[in-house]
Amino acid sequence: IAGITQAPTSQILAAGRRMTLRCTQDMRHNAMYWYRQDLGLGLRLIHYSNTAGTTGKGEVPDGYSVSRANTDDFPLTLASAVPSQTSVYFCASSDSHGAGDTQYFGPGTRLTVL
């Protein structure tokens, strides 16, 4: 059972470039999430999706976009990367969008924007 996979594992990107971080889950979970983790700030929610075809904004959505064309995939796109987007990005999923549901996390993508 793979759970959640993220790609790439790490990436160095020039400022201004477009980048898509991939996230795939094989648990048939309805809800998916994208977080960024920064030292001293913990995890901050970027975007989420309750179910395929719907998305919502989290705490820090600016500069990021997401899509949820199907249940399994939830890509995160940086249209024009900036150095402040240097971070570790985690994708997560949960069975439903209930507040009590456990979120399962992927291994993360370490992104450096120069």
Partner 1 sequence: AQSVSQHNHHVILSEAASLELGCNYSYGGTVNLFWYVQYPGQHLQLLLKYFSGDPLVKGIKGFEAEFIKSKFSFNLRKPSVQWSDTAEYFCAVISYTGGFKTIFGAGTRLFVKA
- Residues lying near partner 1 in the complex (CB under 8 A) are found at 3-4, 33, 35, 40-45, 48, 56, 58-59, 90, 92, 97, 99-100, 102-108
- The distance of closest approach from Cβ of residue 70 to partner 1 in the complex, given in angstroms and rounded to an integer, is 21
Q: Are 80 and 17 in contact (CB under 8 A)?
A: yes
- The distance of closest approach from Cβ of residue 83 to partner 1 in the complex, given in angstroms and rounded to an integer, is 21
State which residue, 81 or 111, has the beta carbon closest to partner 1. Answer: 111
